[in-house]
Amino acid sequence: MRHVLRGVVLFLLLVIVVPAQASAATARDTEQPVVRVGTEGTYPPFSFHDPRTEQLTGYDIEVIKAIAKQAGWKLEFVETQWDAIFPALDAERIDVIANQVSLNDERQAKYGLSDTYTFSHGVIVRRKGDDSIKTLADLKGKTTAQSATSNWAQVARDAGAKVEAVEGFAQAAALLAQGRVDAIVNDNIAVLDYLASTGSDDVEIAGNAGKETSEQVLAFRKTDTARIDQANKAITALQDDGTLREISEKYFKADVSVPDGGKADLSEGRGARSTWEVLRSTAWPMFVGLLKVTIPLTLVSFAIGLVLALLVALARISSYRVLSGLARAFISIIRGTPLLLQLFIVFYGLPQIGLKFNPFTAAIIAFSLNVAGYAAEVVRSAILAVPKGQWEAASTIGLNYPLTLRRIILPQATRTAVPPLSNTLLSLLKDTSLGSVVLLTELFRESQLAAAESNEFLALYAFAGLYYWIICVGLAAAQKRLETRLDRYVAK
């Protein structure tokens, strides 16, 4: 068991660390400065995955690529949900946001914003035929679904609406269609795209959200003045040579890069596909997410977590007051706080005191510590369940504490610990889906991306569930075999 675990950990570390370093090395070798672009990847037609090629594309993506070409940047895209985008910029995990960032005073004060590259206006979306909602004033006391930290959420709040936080526009639209919220405030282009690509009959545009035009910009860190200059020069050049107009017309049949470039027309949509086609094209990316992120993340976190759990359990049992007190506190904190919060502290919190980890490492740290907190109690009770006479017999034949533990106690404790630890492992496998909020493109995130583009929530999430379930069935079978093996010295 121990040897197998050790082998697995070493193997996975090799698989993960070596290519990561290799790719880091190649990135350093190139001359061009790398600029990391934060974007949702789930906000069509601005930032989404083309269902045919799986490639990230959209208006904002093409614009930032054109800017990079002008400015001589090499781009690296980081996809994350909207509410994590500004924290990612603050934590220096990304350098610029290209995701229809609306200009407002608050952002102006805190971030380094580029010149405007999109002019649009907000609209209010309601359920079809809901005449109680026509203008912003009608939103007072109603509930809207928005990305919590978006400009549109602020518009809705200012109008007196209650805001339900969601992870993207597709989710908001689904909530509205299902009657769980009363309205959405969002960019008219995003709404037109949704209506055209889904052919939805459930929702409609009620009217403009205020009279003012909204301006969209790129957001940098305030201190990043050199890049802001480069970006502004590039935007001016692209406006002058007509590139921006070209990109805009390709997506909207109108020029949104100037204040009055005509009415956007998205009636052609992006081509709706059948549920079957969506599933077929998503099955592979989801499988890759499972194989490359979900499973390695689970196994490595579990292995490290078990080692930590053993140490914590021994500290907890120890007669040194300080040691057992620390262990008790650790277990209490881990079990007393949400896993999602622990993940956010490691990923977004620690960079503020100078401890920055890449998403995979951050997730490993958070999940390992979490496993350690829970498994420590399992390991502790399994150790205590070994009869006291075993300790005594070991000490009378001259074994010291580490030898007794390793050769006599732990092999017997393993038998008791396997069933509850298997539960921990199964929970962990499923909990890795939380990795989707710290920029990890694992199995669940792949299904989210596909759902945002296609609105096939039921089929895609059920399919993702199927993947998780199959792995769990496999793990449960492995548990059974291990238990049988460990039972060989017990009277039947």
Partner 1 sequence: MTDTTEQNTEPARIRVHGLEKSFGDQKVLRGIDFESQRGTSTVLLGPSGSGKTTVLRSLNVLETPERGVIGIDDVEVDFGQLPAGKAGRRESNRLRAQSGMVFQAHNLFPHRTVLENIIEGPVVAQKRPREEAVAEAKTLLDQVGLGDRGDAYPFQLSGGQQQRVGIARALALKPRVVLFDEPTSALDPELVGEVLAVIKDLAADDWTTVIVTHEIRFAEQVADQVLFLDGGVIVERGPSAQVIGDPREERTRRFLKRILDPG
| Residue 385 C-beta: closest distance to partner 1, Å | 13
- Between residues 226 and 397, which has the closer beta carbon with respect to partner 1? 397
Nearest to 137 by CA among 216, 206, 215: 206
Residue with tokens 């007794």: 404
- Between residues 333 and 397, which has the closer beta carbon with respect to partner 1? 397
- Between residues 269 and 411, which has the closer beta carbon with respect to partner 1? 411
Nearest to 292 by CA among 9, 15, 54: 15
Altogether, the residues listed in the chain come to a count of 492
Indicate the burial class of 492 (C-beta count within 10 angstroms; 0-12, 13-18, 19 or more). Answer: exposed
- Between residues 306 and 408, which has the closer beta carbon with respect to partner 1? 408
Residue partners of 82: CB distance under 8 A and separation at least 6: 40, 43, 99, 147, 149, 150, 167, 168
| Residue 392 C-beta: closest distance to partner 1, Å | 6
Q: Number of helices (H) and strands (E) in the chain: give both, helices first.
A: 19, 14
| Residue 1 C-beta: closest distance to partner 1, Å | 12
- Between residues 134 and 407, which has the closer beta carbon with respect to partner 1? 407
- Between residues 137 and 490, which has the closer beta carbon with respect to partner 1? 490
| Residue 413 C-beta: closest distance to partner 1, Å | 10
Cα–Cα dist 154/148, whole Å = 8
- Between residues 100 and 404, which has the closer beta carbon with respect to partner 1? 404
Q: SS3 for 43?
A: strand
Contact of 296 with 428, CB cutoff 8 Å: no
| Residue 398 C-beta: closest distance to partner 1, Å | 3
The two beta strands, 47-49 and 183-187, are: unpaired
| Residue 378 C-beta: closest distance to partner 1, Å | 19
Residues that bind partner 1 (CB under 8 A): 387, 389-390, 392-400, 403, 407-408, 411-412, 488-491
Q: Got the DSSP string for 341-367?
A: HHHHIIIIIGGGGT----HHHHHHHHH
- Between residues 223 and 489, which has the closer beta carbon with respect to partner 1? 489
155 DSSP β-pair partners: none
| Residue 8 C-beta: closest distance to partner 1, Å | 23
Q: Residue 49: in which H helix or E strand, if any?
A: strand 47-49
- Between residues 326 and 486, which has the closer beta carbon with respect to partner 1? 486
Q: Residue 126: in which H helix or E strand, if any?
A: strand 122-127
| Residue 492 C-beta: closest distance to partner 1, Å | 9
Cα–Cα dist 331/370, whole Å = 9
| Residue 411 C-beta: closest distance to partner 1, Å | 5
